[in-house]
A and B are shown apart, each in its own frame.
Chain A
Amino acid sequence: MSTPQSTPQGLPDIIRPYGDTTGDAMVQVSFTLPIPHDKRAEGAALQLAAKMGLAPALLVHAKAMGSDFTFFIVYGSVSHLVDLREVVVIEREFPMLSAKDVNAAIKKRLGRKLVVVGACIGTDAHTVGIDAILNIKGFAGEKGLEYYTEIKVVNCGAQVLVPELVARARAEKADAVLVSQVVTQKDAHIHNTMTMSAAFREAYPAGKVPLLVIGGPRFEQGSAAALGVDRIFGKGTTPGEVASYLVHAIGAGQVVAPSGA
């Protein structure tokens, strides 16, 4: 699904950043160096800029922050070229459906409601992500999954323990489990997700695990397999995308009859 593509018609293959003139390659960066502000510090900032490919670089602002740090803003022409032919885009592997089509597809393919259990796991207490997807209020003008007549939503809220989540998913006979990880430190989102996927694999017979879907701004696209989940959604995902994906995944045979059903 992710292949290098030929550049769409009308765009050049090679581009440079645009400041105020085509080809000027101007960019702006800001950073802090852990040294006092003096001439040497400014030289150090320019050295860093040069190593980042900014030539010529213009140090437009340098300010001491306390006695040990200096903040810099640098403008400069960047020597790197961007080759659009080498840009890799992960295409959405499923078509976007309207709420009506989602409901119709679930009815046709499952003959019952699709059950979605959602939670924030680990120490993360920030439910904004999961709520945006699940709550009827939704996100970006799109209603959440609760709005879909053929989807049953169980929102477990924040700081749900993994065993609780597994138990709830089993009790509700979940077709899909949505887990959000917004605030994270020291890769907690990775550890939490792997713990979660391992727990589901342990609790369910092989092939019967519900769809595991995670969302959050820090997940790397393409790491789903490594994390043991079916799909990752990043920042800005709308409920409609998630619903469309779920329908697609049912069609693709990833949803099996829940155990006991």
Chain B
Amino acid sequence: MSAVRPPSPAKPKLELDPAVIRKARALARKAGAPVVKLARTHTTVSVERAVLRLAGLTGADHEGVPWVNHLVDAVRGEVGLELGVSIPVFDALRRGQAPDLLTLAQKSAAGSVSFHLPQGRDGSAAKSLALRSVKPGMARIDKNRSTRDRLIKRHGNPKQRPWIYLIVATGDIYEDIPQAQTAAREGADIIAVIRSTGQSLLDFVPEGATREGYAGTYATQENFALMRAALDEVSKELGRYIRLVNYASGLCMPEIATLAGLERLDMMLNDSMYGILFRDINPIRTFVDQRFSRQIHARAGIIINTGEDNYLTTADAVEAAHTVTVSQLMNEYFAKEAGLQDWQLGLGHAFEINPEIPDSLRMELAQALLARQLFPKAPLKWMPPTKHMTGDVFRGYLLDGFFNLVGAMTGQDILLVGMMTEAVVTPFLSDRDLALQNVRYVLNAAGGLAEDFHPPVDGFIQTRARQVLFEAVDLLEKIVNDVGEPGSVPLLQAISDGTFGLMKRPADAGKGLDGVVKCAPGYDNPASTLLEAGTKK
């Protein structure tokens, strides 16, 4: 299966105690398990809307409110979501309230549908109709996965490693397309269309091709389809499969993951705690949405990218280095529990140590090697400096060169290309060109250094890496033991105490909380049924 890494190098570069690594993973499991239990026993409005999207409901009313939102709101208002949206919806279709889902949604928006919670045989019939109805959506996701595999076989993977990841973000999909194609022609292997910054807090997915966004372009099904088609065209031209990335984060994470599967996106940003910490989204909403979205990603063969780099933009990269490791371990646990495989775990980390402090490069090497060795099969995502980019673009260009060097020396897999104009302007065309030259020069000149580079036993780098790992284990222990009231979830307690990124996020606050519903006995989700039954292997 599209394995991302070549066989890992024979000799590990850091002397890490396997017992400590095992302990770290065991603690991560212990911290994560109660959260998974919580995720299994709750649903959200966005999970339910994703089910309707899989059943083929698309489009929006004249004000841009999607029909999936109308239908979920109508059902919730009348009979609640405790049993899921699909039983009342497909029961209404069986009762002839409307000929199809779209008409049902339109009528429900006008208030002219009555929803019931059918019992007995009617209940089972509604469930089986629901299951039949989401199957074509799931089949499309499966088919996209085989299409991707076929295209990778035909066009090939990038010849070098790390893969080169570039961002386009004009706000206008029709401007993004030629920029993305140009970027691919100039060497990008992965194109990320960064989202409009406001989108994470929208509780609906906008519809159609969009031309107006802030610091990015809206994630919509149509935009996904347009960009994927454009990149297929350029993949053929270049003889290299160009991967497309978007963001399964924010309040609509499950729906966007679903749309990504339906439109053959290849990677999705999908962090387990990012939305909680940096967008103040309710923790329970996030974990419920995240589990469903990760199940979809697992099924769709999508590589997730986690967001550990973000911690270092608020906290200090030296003092908080271990929080990155802890988050990587948590992301790994949650991802695997949701069915993702090692090759799908684009765990993140970043080059964010203050360049003014002595030995900053050696500490970067230690941290990058630590991640490499803890997760040998994961396609690690290596993020460029942002916090210490000052506006001195010349110095920034040098920092990016060192970032590229560390990426090459430590065998990172996905390299987000740093821009010397970070923190100054949205990158000029020439900034991107210069940045790619920087990457090419470093990979060409020093790509083989990974083979030669073996930090001495008990030297600075090895010692630093061990120290970070120990601190990570300490923190995990603290989290696991952070028991509040009986029945409280230690990880949620830790999040509300400000353990990650210094932000305090209580479990009973945050955006999207009102969209969380506790499942009642008899809850049914036909998409989850198919997802839990197992990924097409």
Task: Using CB atoms and an 8 Å cutoff, list the residues of chain A in contact with chain B.
Answer: 30-32, 63, 65-66, 69, 71, 122-125, 127-128, 131, 135, 137, 157-159, 183-186, 188, 235
Supplied contacts A32-B428, A158-B280, A186-B171, 12 more A-B pairs, CB within 8 Å: A65-B186, A65-B433, A66-B185, A122-B198, A123-B214, A157-B280, A158-B279, A159-B200, A159-B201, A185-B171, A186-B214, A235-B391
Find out whether the CB atom of A131 lies under 8 angstroms from the CB atom of B314.
yes
Find out whether the CB atom of A65 lies under 8 angstroms from the CB atom of B278.
no
CB distance from B247 to the nearest CB of A (A): 12
Provide a sorted-by-A list of 21 A–B residue pairs whose CB atoms are within 8 angstroms: A32-B428, A32-B429, A65-B433, A71-B429, A122-B198, A123-B196, A123-B197, A125-B197, A127-B314, A128-B314, A137-B502, A157-B503, A158-B278, A159-B198, A159-B200, A159-B201, A183-B197, A184-B214, A184-B215, A186-B171, A188-B214
Question: Which A residues are CB-close (under 8 A) to B535?
Answer: none
CB distance from A156 to the nearest CB of B (A): 9
Given A66-B185, A135-B502: A125 and B200 interface contact (C-beta under 8 Å): yes
Find out whether the CB atom of A65 lies under 8 angstroms from the CB atom of B429.
yes
Q: How far is the CA of A128 from the CA of B390 in the complex (A)?
A: 13
Indicate if B444 sits at the interface (CB-CB under 8 A): no
Q: How far is the CA of A15 from the CA of B280 in the complex (A)?
A: 52
Q: Could you mark each residue 438-476 of chain B with 1 if its beta carbon is under 8 Å from any beta carbon of chain A, else 0?
A: 000000000000000000000000000000000000000
Find out whether the CB atom of A66 lies under 8 angstroms from the CB atom of B186.
yes
For A135, the closest partner residue in chain B by CB is B502
Q: How far is the CA of A69 from the CA of B434 in the complex (A)?
A: 13
Indicate if B430 sits at the interface (CB-CB under 8 A): yes
Indicate if B528 sits at the interface (CB-CB under 8 A): no
Given A183-B215, A186-B214, A188-B214: A124 and B430 interface contact (C-beta under 8 Å): no
Q: How far is the CA of A166 from the CA of B430 in the complex (A)?
A: 43
Find out whether the CB atom of B428 lies under 8 angstroms from the CB atom of A123.
no
Find out whether the CB atom of B430 lies under 8 angstroms from the CB atom of A65.
yes
Question: Which A residues are CB-close (under 8 A) to B316?
Answer: 137
Q: Which of B196, B426, B428, B429 has the most CB of A within 10 A?
A: B429
A-B pairs with the 4 shortest C-beta distances? A123-B198, A123-B197, A71-B430, A65-B433
Indicate if B41 sits at the interface (CB-CB under 8 A): no
Indicate if B182 sits at the interface (CB-CB under 8 A): yes
Find out whether the CB atom of B278 lies under 8 angstroms from the CB atom of A125.
yes
Question: Which A residues are CB-close (under 8 A) to B387?
Answer: 128
Q: Which of A66, A127, A128, A188 has the most CB of B within 10 A?
A: A66
Q: How far is the CA of A184 from the CA of B171 in the complex (A)?
A: 12
For B169, the closest partner residue in chain A by CB is A185
Q: How many A-B residue pairs have CB under 8 A?
A: 60
Question: Which B residues are CB-close (under 8 A) to A31?
Answer: 430
CB distance from A42 to the nearest CB of B (A): 16
Task: Using CB atoms and an 8 Å cutoff, list the residues of chain B in contact with chain A.
Answer: 171, 182, 185-186, 196-198, 200-201, 214-215, 278-280, 313-314, 316, 387, 391, 426, 428-430, 433-434, 502-503
Q: Which of B196, B279, B316, B433 has the most CB of A within 10 A?
A: B433
Question: Which A residues are CB-close (under 8 A) to B279?
Answer: 125, 158-159
Find out whether the CB atom of A69 lies under 8 angstroms from the CB atom of B502.
no
For B171, the closest partner residue in chain A by CB is A185
Given A128-B313, A135-B502: A185 and B214 interface contact (C-beta under 8 Å): yes
Find out whether the CB atom of A71 lies under 8 angstroms from the CB atom of B433.
yes
Q: Which of B391, B428, B430 has the most CB of A within 10 A?
A: B430
Question: Which B residues are CB-close (under 8 A) to A127?
Answer: 278, 314
Question: Which B residues are CB-close (under 8 A) to A71?
Answer: 429-430, 433-434
Q: How far is the CA of A215 from the CA of B229 in the complex (A)?
A: 42
Q: How far is the CA of A63 from the CA of B197 in the complex (A)?
A: 34
Q: How far is the CA of A81 from the CA of B186 in the complex (A)?
A: 41
Q: How far is the CA of A128 from the CA of B196 in the complex (A)?
A: 19
Question: Which B residues are CB-close (under 8 A) to A135?
Answer: 502
Question: Which B residues are CB-close (under 8 A) to A159?
Answer: 198, 200-201, 279-280
CB distance from B479 to the nearest CB of A (A): 22
Find out whether the CB atom of A66 lies under 8 angstroms from the CB atom of B214.
no
Q: How far is the CA of A188 from the CA of B214 in the complex (A)?
A: 8
For B170, the closest partner residue in chain A by CB is A185
CB distance from B432 to the nearest CB of A (A): 9
For B386, the closest partner residue in chain A by CB is A128
Q: How far is the CA of A73 from the CA of B182 in the complex (A)?
A: 22
Question: Which B residues are CB-close (under 8 A) to A66?
Answer: 182, 185-186
For B434, the closest partner residue in chain A by CB is A71
Question: Which A residues are CB-close (under 8 A) to B314?
Answer: 127-128, 131
Find out whether the CB atom of A69 lies under 8 angstroms from the CB atom of B429.
yes
Question: Which B residues are CB-close (under 8 A) to A124?
Answer: 197
CB distance from B21 to the nearest CB of A (A): 31
CB distance from A177 to the nearest CB of B (A): 18
Q: How far is the CA of A157 from the CA of B316 in the complex (A)?
A: 19
Q: How far is the CA of A127 from the CA of B501 in the complex (A)?
A: 12
CB distance from A117 to the nearest CB of B (A): 15
Please tell me which one of the listed residues B186, B215, B278, B434 contacts residue A185 in the complex, with CB atoms under 8 A apart.
B215
Q: How far is the CA of A124 from the CA of B201 in the complex (A)?
A: 11
Q: How far is the CA of A74 from the CA of B279 in the complex (A)?
A: 44
CB distance from B347 to the nearest CB of A (A): 22
CB distance from A190 to the nearest CB of B (A): 13
CB distance from B529 to the nearest CB of A (A): 35
Question: Which A residues are CB-close (under 8 A) to B503?
Answer: 157
For B316, the closest partner residue in chain A by CB is A137
Question: Which B residues are CB-close (under 8 A) to A188?
Answer: 214
CB distance from A240 to the nearest CB of B (A): 20
Q: How far is the CA of A31 from the CA of B313 in the complex (A)?
A: 30
CB distance from B280 to the nearest CB of A (A): 5
Q: How far is the CA of A185 from the CA of B198 in the complex (A)?
A: 12
For A32, the closest partner residue in chain B by CB is B430
Question: Which A residues are CB-close (under 8 A) to B182?
Answer: 66
